Amino acid sequence: MLIVGPWGDPLSLQVLEVACFGFFVWMLAGEISGVGLRYSKFATSSEGAAITVPSRLGMFLMYLPSFFAASSFLFLKQSSTSAFQEILPPCPSACDSRLLLVAGAICLHFLKRLLEVLFVHKYSGTMELSQSVLISSAYATAAVVIIYAQHISAVREVQPDLDLTNWGLGVFVIGIVGNFYHHYLLASLRSDKTKSMNSKSKYVVPQGGLFTYVVCPHYLFESVTFFGIAMMAQTFVALLTAVGMSSSLCARSYKTKDWYLKKVEGFPPNRKPFFPFLF
């Protein structure tokens, strides 16, 4: 079902795929060992040892380069400048539509995250700038490599035996809507807490949507989003990104459940960390 596997990719793309694989393994190992990415609930107090920024700014910087990369590609692609065509040759129209769809989906995903940072999420405190830069670099690299791999397949006019574009678009929409809905629920809980003068805990038990069944449904739907992109792209690196992101988010969900059980009184221990009724 893949357009092309890593065995058929040019050396430049193979190197990038190996680098992405190594990073995802490192990130997963860190989450499993308990020394994963330090942001949100797992931010540590640096006490001047590291450069910190306001959490909202740090999170905004995490998603901005990925959005800029995808949106710049779409703008330059549509402008059809001769200089751009010298860098990335034009593609046949049949293959070009898949390329534009994948790049557009990546652009939309990170635009949504930026708008959520600005208008939905409630933040307090600071985060390490190094963590923001690290995650930002990983997201941006994945976005650029996915688009690059898609362009290579489009130029080669390679089409999969089984076209999953429409299915992938549907999965992507489910993922992005579900992710936004559960982010909205989390933000609403934070707003309710700040209005309550009798609140004894900074965090409360999340309710509504799939929070009834799992600890981190927003992570689940973010994984669904990336698998939707992978189904539309049908390239190895897009699938690798979806699997890598999902694995690390799943591990982080387990760690988040342990955190809730220790920090939030009355948190239901029977909730699954990531996927309803399973795990």
**DSSP states of 202-248:** S-----SGGGGTBS-HHHHHHHHHHHHHHHHH-BHHHHHHHHHHHHH
CA dist., res. 68 & res. 173, Å (int)? 21
pLDDT for 200 equals: 45
The candidate with the shortest Cα–Cα distance to 133, out of 40, 66, 67, 62, is 62
Given a cut of 60, whether residue 241 has pLDDT beyond it is yes
For the chain, the helix, strand and coil percentages under 3-state DSSP, each to the nearest 5: 70, 5, 25
Taking phi over 0 as left and psi of -120 to 50 as alpha, with beta for the rest, 74 belongs to alpha
By the 8 A CB rule, do 161 and 221 touch? Answer: no
Q: Is the pLDDT of residue 81 over 70?
A: no
Q: Rounded to two decimals, what is the model's pTM?
A: 0.89
74-83: long-range contacts (C-beta < 8 A, 24 or more apart)?
74/100, 74/103, 74/104, 74/107, 77/103
- pLDDT score at 85: 58
CA-to-CA distance for 178 and 169, rounded, in angstroms? Answer: 14
Q: How far is CA 58 from CA 70, 190, 238, in A?
A: 20, 19, 26
The interaxial angle of helices 217-233 and 93-119, nearest 10 deg, is: 160
Question: How many CA atoms within 13 Å lie on the side-chain side of 26?
Answer: 10
Which residue do the tokens 């038990």 mark?
Answer: 205
**What's the confidence (pLDDT) of residue 180?**
97
Between 71 and 95, name the one with better pLDDT.
71
**Residue 201: pLDDT band by 50, 70, 90 thresholds?**
very low
Q: Percentage of the chain surpassing pLDDT 90? A: 44
Give the dihedral sign, CA 37/41/46/50.
positive
pLDDT, mean of residues 47-62: 84
Half-sphere exposure of 68 (CA within 13 A, CB side): 10
